[in-house]
Structure 1
Protein backbone atom coordinates (compact mmCIF):
# COMPACT_ATOMS: atom_id res chain seq x y z
CA UNK A 1 0.00 0.00 0.00
CA UNK A 2 1.42 3.38 -1.01
CA UNK A 3 1.76 6.27 1.42
CA UNK A 4 3.20 8.67 -1.17
CA UNK A 5 1.38 11.49 -2.95
CA UNK A 6 1.85 13.03 -6.37
CA UNK A 7 3.64 16.39 -6.49
CA UNK A 8 1.31 18.75 -8.34
CA UNK A 9 3.52 21.81 -8.81
CA UNK A 10 6.98 23.21 -8.13
CA UNK A 11 5.72 25.07 -5.04
CA UNK A 12 5.45 21.76 -3.18
CA UNK A 13 9.11 21.05 -3.87
CA UNK A 14 10.12 24.56 -2.82
CA UNK A 15 8.27 24.12 0.49
CA UNK A 16 10.11 20.84 1.13
CA UNK A 17 13.47 22.44 0.35
CA UNK A 18 12.68 25.42 2.57
CA UNK A 19 11.46 23.37 5.55
CA UNK A 20 13.65 20.27 5.45
CA UNK A 21 16.91 21.21 3.71
CA UNK A 22 19.04 22.83 6.43
CA UNK A 23 22.62 22.98 7.52
CA UNK A 24 23.47 19.46 8.68
CA UNK A 25 20.65 17.76 6.76
CA UNK A 26 21.54 14.37 5.34
CA UNK A 27 20.57 14.49 1.67
CA UNK A 28 21.33 12.87 -1.66
CA UNK A 29 19.31 15.43 -3.58
CA UNK A 30 20.99 16.69 -6.73
CA UNK A 31 18.04 17.29 -9.04
CA UNK A 32 18.21 20.67 -10.77
CA UNK A 33 15.25 23.03 -10.61
CA UNK A 34 14.44 22.67 -14.30
CA UNK A 35 14.51 18.87 -13.96
CA UNK A 36 11.99 19.10 -11.12
CA UNK A 37 9.65 21.03 -13.36
CA UNK A 38 10.00 18.49 -16.17
CA UNK A 39 9.19 15.45 -14.02
CA UNK A 40 6.34 17.30 -12.28
CA UNK A 41 4.82 18.13 -15.66
CA UNK A 42 5.15 14.47 -16.63
CA UNK A 43 3.46 13.46 -13.33
CA UNK A 44 6.44 11.38 -12.25
CA UNK A 45 7.41 13.02 -8.95
CA UNK A 46 5.98 11.96 -5.57
CA UNK A 47 6.57 13.02 -1.98
CA UNK A 48 6.38 11.67 1.54
CA UNK A 49 6.83 13.69 4.72
CA UNK A 50 7.47 12.17 8.14
CA UNK A 51 7.96 14.43 11.15
CA UNK A 52 11.34 16.08 10.52
CA UNK A 53 12.23 14.15 7.36
CA UNK A 54 11.08 14.47 3.76
CA UNK A 55 11.41 12.28 0.70
CA UNK A 56 10.97 12.83 -3.03
CA UNK A 57 10.44 9.82 -5.26
CA UNK A 58 10.95 9.82 -9.00
CA UNK A 59 8.99 7.19 -10.91
CA UNK A 60 11.46 5.50 -13.27
CA UNK A 61 8.96 2.92 -14.54
CA UNK A 62 10.40 -0.21 -12.94
CA UNK A 63 11.30 1.52 -9.66
CA UNK A 64 11.22 4.70 -7.63
CA UNK A 65 14.46 6.66 -7.29
CA UNK A 66 14.50 8.08 -3.75
CA UNK A 67 15.88 11.50 -2.79
CA UNK A 68 15.89 12.19 0.93
CA UNK A 69 16.17 15.07 3.38
CA UNK A 70 16.82 13.48 6.77
CA UNK A 71 17.15 15.55 9.94
CA UNK A 72 16.12 12.88 12.46
CA UNK A 73 17.90 9.55 11.99
CA UNK A 74 15.92 8.05 14.88
CA UNK A 75 12.68 8.38 12.91
CA UNK A 76 12.29 5.28 10.78
CA UNK A 77 9.07 6.22 9.02
CA UNK A 78 9.84 6.14 5.29
CA UNK A 79 7.90 5.91 2.02
CA UNK A 80 5.95 2.75 1.28
CA UNK A 81 5.35 1.91 -2.39
CA UNK A 82 4.30 -0.92 -4.65
CA UNK A 83 7.59 -0.78 -6.59
CA UNK A 84 11.24 -1.35 -5.95
CA UNK A 85 12.87 1.69 -4.31
CA UNK A 86 16.49 2.56 -4.99
CA UNK A 87 18.71 5.39 -3.83
CA UNK A 88 22.29 6.46 -4.41
CA UNK A 89 24.60 8.30 -2.02
CA UNK A 90 27.61 10.27 -3.24
CA UNK A 91 30.70 10.41 -1.02
CA UNK A 92 34.36 11.41 -1.25
CA UNK A 93 36.98 8.67 -0.86
CA UNK A 94 37.07 5.77 1.58
CA UNK A 95 37.22 8.08 4.59
CA UNK A 96 33.98 9.73 3.50
CA UNK A 97 31.89 6.55 3.40
CA UNK A 98 28.35 7.47 4.61
CA UNK A 99 28.11 4.94 7.47
CA UNK A 100 25.28 6.73 9.27
CA UNK A 101 23.03 6.93 6.22
CA UNK A 102 23.77 3.36 5.14
CA UNK A 103 22.84 2.19 8.64
CA UNK A 104 19.63 4.24 8.52
CA UNK A 105 18.51 2.67 5.25
CA UNK A 106 19.61 -0.86 6.16
CA UNK A 107 17.52 -0.54 9.33
CA UNK A 108 14.62 0.29 7.00
CA UNK A 109 15.03 -2.98 5.08
CA UNK A 110 17.16 -1.61 2.26
CA UNK A 111 20.16 -3.64 1.15
CA UNK A 112 23.51 -2.44 -0.13
CA UNK A 113 23.53 -2.82 -3.89
CA UNK A 114 26.49 -1.46 -5.89
CA UNK A 115 29.53 0.70 -5.29
CA UNK A 116 30.74 2.91 -8.12
CA UNK A 117 33.91 4.96 -8.45
CA UNK A 118 34.55 8.03 -10.57
CA UNK A 119 37.67 8.05 -12.75
CA UNK A 120 39.16 10.94 -14.72
CA UNK A 121 41.81 11.52 -17.35
CA UNK A 122 43.43 14.78 -18.44
CA UNK A 123 44.15 14.98 -22.18
CA UNK A 124 47.88 15.54 -21.58
CA UNK A 125 48.06 12.38 -19.44
CA UNK A 126 46.60 9.95 -21.98
CA UNK A 127 48.63 6.78 -22.37
CA UNK A 128 48.58 6.05 -26.08
CA UNK A 129 48.82 2.38 -26.84
CA UNK A 130 47.25 1.19 -30.07
CA UNK A 131 45.27 -2.01 -29.53
CA UNK A 132 46.17 -4.90 -31.80
CA UNK A 133 42.69 -5.95 -32.80
CA UNK A 134 41.05 -8.59 -34.91
CA UNK A 135 40.78 -7.28 -38.49
CA UNK A 136 37.06 -8.08 -38.43
CA UNK A 137 36.46 -5.43 -35.73
CA UNK A 138 35.33 -2.04 -37.01
CA UNK A 139 34.28 1.05 -35.03
CA UNK A 140 32.07 3.80 -36.43
CA UNK A 141 29.87 6.62 -35.26
CA UNK A 142 26.30 5.35 -35.25
CA UNK A 143 24.24 6.81 -38.08
CA UNK A 144 21.08 4.68 -38.19
CA UNK A 145 18.06 4.17 -35.96
CA UNK A 146 18.87 0.44 -35.98
CA UNK A 147 22.18 1.17 -34.27
CA UNK A 148 20.42 3.25 -31.61
CA UNK A 149 17.98 0.38 -31.08
CA UNK A 150 20.90 -2.02 -30.74
CA UNK A 151 22.48 0.28 -28.14
CA UNK A 152 19.24 0.31 -26.16
CA UNK A 153 19.04 -3.49 -26.37
CA UNK A 154 22.57 -3.94 -24.99
CA UNK A 155 22.07 -1.40 -22.19
CA UNK A 156 18.80 -3.03 -21.10
CA UNK A 157 20.21 -6.56 -21.34
CA UNK A 158 23.56 -6.21 -19.62
CA UNK A 159 23.48 -3.24 -17.25
CA UNK A 160 21.84 -3.09 -13.84
CA UNK A 161 18.14 -2.41 -14.39
CA UNK A 162 17.82 -0.09 -11.39
CA UNK A 163 21.07 1.91 -11.35
CA UNK A 164 22.50 1.30 -14.83
CA UNK A 165 20.87 4.46 -16.21
CA UNK A 166 18.69 2.98 -18.97
CA UNK A 167 18.13 5.33 -21.90
CA UNK A 168 15.06 5.84 -24.05
CA UNK A 169 15.37 5.42 -27.79
CA UNK A 170 14.62 9.13 -28.12
CA UNK A 171 17.60 9.98 -25.88
CA UNK A 172 19.89 7.60 -27.75
CA UNK A 173 18.82 9.21 -31.00
CA UNK A 174 19.84 12.58 -29.53
CA UNK A 175 23.28 11.17 -28.73
CA UNK A 176 23.53 9.63 -32.20
CA UNK A 177 22.61 12.90 -33.90
CA UNK A 178 25.21 14.70 -31.77
CA UNK A 179 27.95 12.25 -32.79
CA UNK A 180 28.19 10.81 -29.28
CA UNK A 181 27.20 7.19 -30.02
CA UNK A 182 29.77 4.68 -31.28
CA UNK A 183 28.92 1.26 -32.67
CA UNK A 184 31.31 -1.70 -32.99
CA UNK A 185 30.97 -4.34 -35.67
CA UNK A 186 32.50 -7.78 -35.88
CA UNK A 187 32.30 -8.49 -39.56
CA UNK A 188 28.76 -7.43 -40.42
CA UNK A 189 27.40 -8.08 -36.91
CA UNK A 190 26.80 -5.25 -34.43
CA UNK A 191 28.81 -6.26 -31.38
CA UNK A 192 29.15 -3.33 -28.96
CA UNK A 193 28.38 0.31 -28.24
CA UNK A 194 29.81 3.28 -26.41
CA UNK A 195 27.74 6.36 -25.56
CA UNK A 196 29.37 9.59 -24.50
CA UNK A 197 28.11 13.00 -23.40
CA UNK A 198 29.85 16.38 -23.62
CA UNK A 199 28.93 18.63 -20.67
CA UNK A 200 30.76 21.73 -19.42
CA UNK A 201 33.82 20.78 -21.48
CA UNK A 202 33.97 17.35 -19.82
CA UNK A 203 33.69 14.33 -22.12
CA UNK A 204 31.79 11.70 -20.15
CA UNK A 205 31.76 8.01 -20.97
CA UNK A 206 28.15 7.10 -20.19
CA UNK A 207 27.72 3.49 -21.33
CA UNK A 208 30.13 0.91 -22.72
CA UNK A 209 28.66 -2.51 -23.49
CA UNK A 210 29.93 -5.42 -25.58
CA UNK A 211 27.64 -8.29 -26.54
CA UNK A 212 28.67 -11.45 -24.69
CA UNK A 213 29.00 -13.32 -28.00
CA UNK A 214 31.82 -10.99 -29.07
CA UNK A 215 33.85 -10.63 -25.90
CA UNK A 216 37.54 -11.52 -26.02
CA UNK A 217 38.23 -9.54 -29.19
CA UNK A 218 39.27 -6.33 -27.34
CA UNK A 219 36.22 -4.50 -28.65
CA UNK A 220 35.97 -2.58 -25.37
CA UNK A 221 39.55 -1.39 -25.81
CA UNK A 222 38.93 -0.16 -29.34
CA UNK A 223 35.69 1.58 -28.38
CA UNK A 224 37.54 3.33 -25.54
CA UNK A 225 40.26 4.45 -27.96
CA UNK A 226 37.58 5.92 -30.24
CA UNK A 227 36.00 7.70 -27.26
CA UNK A 228 39.36 9.19 -26.20
CA UNK A 229 40.16 10.31 -29.74
CA UNK A 230 36.75 12.01 -29.98
CA UNK A 231 37.49 13.86 -26.73
CA UNK A 232 40.77 15.13 -28.14
CA UNK A 233 39.03 16.29 -31.31
CA UNK A 234 36.53 18.25 -29.20
CA UNK A 235 39.38 19.78 -27.13
CA UNK A 236 37.75 18.65 -23.89
CA UNK A 237 39.31 19.66 -20.58
CA UNK A 238 38.69 16.29 -18.96
CA UNK A 239 37.53 12.76 -19.72
CA UNK A 240 35.43 11.24 -16.97
CA UNK A 241 33.43 8.08 -16.18
CA UNK A 242 31.84 5.95 -13.47
CA UNK A 243 32.74 2.28 -13.06
CA UNK A 244 31.49 -0.44 -10.69
CA UNK A 245 34.00 -0.70 -7.85
CA UNK A 246 34.82 -4.41 -8.11
CA UNK A 247 34.63 -4.66 -11.91
CA UNK A 248 38.35 -5.32 -12.25
CA UNK A 249 38.40 -5.89 -16.04
CA UNK A 250 36.77 -2.50 -16.63
CA UNK A 251 38.91 -0.70 -14.03
CA UNK A 252 42.09 -2.20 -15.51
CA UNK A 253 40.97 -1.21 -19.01
CA UNK A 254 40.54 2.43 -18.02
CA UNK A 255 43.77 2.54 -16.00
CA UNK A 256 45.60 1.25 -19.05
CA UNK A 257 44.75 4.51 -20.83
CA UNK A 258 45.77 6.64 -17.84
CA UNK A 259 42.48 7.08 -15.96
CA UNK A 260 42.82 7.47 -12.19
CA UNK A 261 40.42 7.61 -9.24
CA UNK A 262 38.77 11.02 -8.80
CA UNK A 263 38.17 10.52 -5.06
CA UNK A 264 34.42 10.32 -5.61
CA UNK A 265 32.24 7.24 -5.16
CA UNK A 266 28.61 6.28 -4.76
CA UNK A 267 26.83 3.50 -2.95
CA UNK A 268 23.36 2.45 -4.04
CA UNK A 269 20.84 0.78 -1.75
CA UNK A 270 17.71 -1.04 -2.81
CA UNK A 271 14.44 -2.24 -1.28
CA UNK A 272 12.48 -4.77 -3.28
CA UNK A 273 8.77 -5.37 -2.79
Structure 2
Protein backbone atom coordinates (compact mmCIF):
# COMPACT_ATOMS: atom_id res chain seq x y z
CA UNK A 1 0.00 0.00 0.00
CA UNK A 2 1.13 3.54 -0.70
CA UNK A 3 -0.24 6.94 0.23
CA UNK A 4 -0.49 9.28 -2.75
CA UNK A 5 -1.63 12.84 -3.30
CA UNK A 6 -4.57 13.74 -5.50
CA UNK A 7 -4.43 12.57 -9.05
CA UNK A 8 -7.27 13.10 -11.51
CA UNK A 9 -7.48 9.34 -12.12
CA UNK A 10 -8.63 8.82 -8.50
CA UNK A 11 -11.27 11.55 -8.53
CA UNK A 12 -14.18 9.24 -9.38
CA UNK A 13 -13.12 6.86 -6.60
CA UNK A 14 -13.17 9.71 -4.09
CA UNK A 15 -16.60 10.91 -5.18
CA UNK A 16 -18.08 7.42 -5.29
CA UNK A 17 -16.64 6.37 -1.92
CA UNK A 18 -17.67 9.63 -0.24
CA UNK A 19 -21.24 9.55 -1.54
CA UNK A 20 -21.67 5.86 -0.67
CA UNK A 21 -20.42 6.48 2.86
CA UNK A 22 -22.67 9.51 3.39
CA UNK A 23 -25.71 7.64 2.04
CA UNK A 24 -24.96 4.69 4.34
CA UNK A 25 -25.15 6.82 7.49
CA UNK A 26 -26.91 10.09 6.62
CA UNK A 27 -28.22 11.92 3.57
CA UNK A 28 -26.23 13.76 0.94
CA UNK A 29 -26.39 17.52 1.48
CA UNK A 30 -25.79 20.50 -0.79
CA UNK A 31 -22.33 21.13 0.67
CA UNK A 32 -21.33 17.51 -0.09
CA UNK A 33 -22.25 17.98 -3.75
CA UNK A 34 -20.56 21.39 -3.90
CA UNK A 35 -17.34 19.98 -2.44
CA UNK A 36 -17.28 16.83 -4.55
CA UNK A 37 -18.06 18.69 -7.78
CA UNK A 38 -15.22 21.18 -7.19
CA UNK A 39 -12.23 19.04 -6.25
CA UNK A 40 -9.93 20.79 -8.71
CA UNK A 41 -10.87 24.10 -7.07
CA UNK A 42 -10.04 22.63 -3.66
CA UNK A 43 -6.59 21.66 -4.96
CA UNK A 44 -6.09 25.03 -6.69
CA UNK A 45 -6.80 26.79 -3.38
CA UNK A 46 -4.08 24.83 -1.59
CA UNK A 47 -6.05 21.86 -0.32
CA UNK A 48 -5.16 18.23 -0.91
CA UNK A 49 -6.77 14.81 -1.05
CA UNK A 50 -4.75 11.78 -0.03
CA UNK A 51 -5.42 8.23 -1.16
CA UNK A 52 -4.32 4.87 0.16
CA UNK A 53 -3.74 2.81 -2.97
CA UNK A 54 -2.74 -0.77 -3.55
CA UNK A 55 -2.39 -2.25 -7.04
CA UNK A 56 -4.03 0.94 -8.40
CA UNK A 57 -7.12 0.34 -6.23
CA UNK A 58 -8.18 3.08 -3.83
CA UNK A 59 -8.77 1.74 -0.33
CA UNK A 60 -9.17 4.96 1.64
CA UNK A 61 -9.15 8.72 1.17
CA UNK A 62 -9.29 11.98 3.11
CA UNK A 63 -9.16 15.67 2.26
CA UNK A 64 -7.67 18.73 3.92
CA UNK A 65 -8.26 22.34 2.95
CA UNK A 66 -7.50 25.84 4.19
CA UNK A 67 -10.60 27.71 5.33
CA UNK A 68 -9.06 30.81 6.94
CA UNK A 69 -5.55 32.06 7.45
CA UNK A 70 -3.69 29.30 9.32
CA UNK A 71 -6.94 27.37 9.94
CA UNK A 72 -7.60 24.21 7.99
CA UNK A 73 -10.46 21.73 7.83
CA UNK A 74 -10.07 17.99 7.49
CA UNK A 75 -12.95 15.93 6.15
CA UNK A 76 -14.38 13.25 3.93
CA UNK A 77 -12.35 10.53 5.66
CA UNK A 78 -13.57 7.30 4.10
CA UNK A 79 -12.28 3.74 3.96
CA UNK A 80 -13.94 1.00 1.94
CA UNK A 81 -15.70 -1.46 4.23
CA UNK A 82 -13.45 -4.45 3.60
CA UNK A 83 -10.32 -2.41 4.43
CA UNK A 84 -11.59 -1.00 7.72
CA UNK A 85 -9.89 -1.90 10.98
CA UNK A 86 -6.41 -2.16 9.42
CA UNK A 87 -5.11 1.31 10.30
CA UNK A 88 -5.44 2.65 6.77
CA UNK A 89 -7.75 5.49 7.81
CA UNK A 90 -5.26 6.57 10.45
CA UNK A 91 -2.45 6.70 7.90
CA UNK A 92 -4.51 8.82 5.50
CA UNK A 93 -5.62 11.11 8.34
CA UNK A 94 -2.01 11.60 9.45
CA UNK A 95 -1.00 12.50 5.88
CA UNK A 96 -3.61 15.27 5.92
CA UNK A 97 -2.35 16.61 9.26
CA UNK A 98 1.24 16.59 8.00
CA UNK A 99 0.22 18.42 4.84
CA UNK A 100 -1.51 21.17 6.83
CA UNK A 101 1.51 21.48 9.14
CA UNK A 102 3.80 21.77 6.12
CA UNK A 103 1.59 24.62 4.90
CA UNK A 104 1.79 26.57 8.18
CA UNK A 105 -1.58 25.63 9.65
CA UNK A 106 -1.93 26.54 13.30
CA UNK A 107 -5.24 24.79 13.82
CA UNK A 108 -7.17 22.00 12.11
CA UNK A 109 -10.90 21.63 12.64
CA UNK A 110 -13.31 18.86 11.75
CA UNK A 111 -17.02 18.19 11.90
CA UNK A 112 -18.51 14.77 12.47
CA UNK A 113 -21.33 12.93 14.21
CA UNK A 114 -21.24 11.23 17.61
CA UNK A 115 -22.55 7.99 16.10
CA UNK A 116 -19.25 7.59 14.21
CA UNK A 117 -17.21 6.26 17.12
CA UNK A 118 -14.44 4.61 15.03
CA UNK A 119 -13.78 7.99 13.35
CA UNK A 120 -13.88 9.84 16.67
CA UNK A 121 -11.34 7.35 18.04
CA UNK A 122 -9.00 8.32 15.18
CA UNK A 123 -9.48 12.01 15.90
CA UNK A 124 -8.68 11.53 19.58
CA UNK A 125 -5.68 9.34 18.74
CA UNK A 126 -4.14 12.31 16.91
CA UNK A 127 -4.87 14.79 19.71
CA UNK A 128 -8.06 16.44 18.49
CA UNK A 129 -10.14 17.90 21.33
CA UNK A 130 -13.91 18.17 21.22
CA UNK A 131 -15.26 21.73 21.20
CA UNK A 132 -18.79 23.14 20.98
CA UNK A 133 -20.19 22.85 17.47
CA UNK A 134 -19.97 26.15 15.60
CA UNK A 135 -21.73 27.09 12.39
CA UNK A 136 -21.39 24.41 9.74
CA UNK A 137 -23.00 23.74 6.38
CA UNK A 138 -23.82 20.16 7.40
CA UNK A 139 -27.05 19.49 9.30
CA UNK A 140 -25.69 16.05 10.30
CA UNK A 141 -22.79 17.51 12.31
CA UNK A 142 -23.25 17.29 16.06
CA UNK A 143 -19.55 16.91 16.89
CA UNK A 144 -16.66 19.29 16.31
CA UNK A 145 -13.03 18.87 17.26
CA UNK A 146 -9.86 20.91 16.87
CA UNK A 147 -6.16 20.25 16.86
CA UNK A 148 -3.85 23.10 17.82
CA UNK A 149 -0.52 22.81 16.01
For 2:49 and 2:37, locate their aligned partners in 1 and report how far apart those are by CA, in whole Å: 13
Structure 1: gaps of 5 or more residues: 1-136
* Residue in structure 2 matching 1:167, options 33, 57, 65: 33
TM-score by length of 1: 0.44
* Residue in structure 1 matching 2:119, options 241, 247, 250: 250
Residue 141 (1) aligns with residue 40 (2): no
Q: 3-state DSSP class of the match of 2:99?
A: helix
For 2:42 and 2:50, locate their aligned partners in 1 and report how far apart those are by CA, in whole Å: 10
| Contact 2:67 2:73 survives alignment (8 Å) | yes
Q: How far 1:165 moved relative to its partner?
A: 3.9
* Residue in structure 2 matching 1:184, options 42, 52, 73: 52
The superposition leaves residues 42-96 of structure 1 with CA deviations (integer Å, 9 ceiling, x where unpaired) of xxxxxxxxxxxxxxxxxxxxxxxxxxxxxxxxxxxxxxxxxxxxxxxxxxxxxxx
| Contact 2:47 2:66 survives alignment (8 Å) | no
Q: How many residues are matched?
A: 132
Which deviates the most, 177-186 or 150-159?
177-186
Larger RCO: 1 or 2 (CA < 8 Å, sep 6+): 1
Structure 2: gaps of 5 or more residues: 141-149
Residue 220 (1) aligns with residue 83 (2): no
Alignment-derived partner of residue 199 in structure 1: 67
Question: Which structure would you say has the larger Rg?
Answer: 1
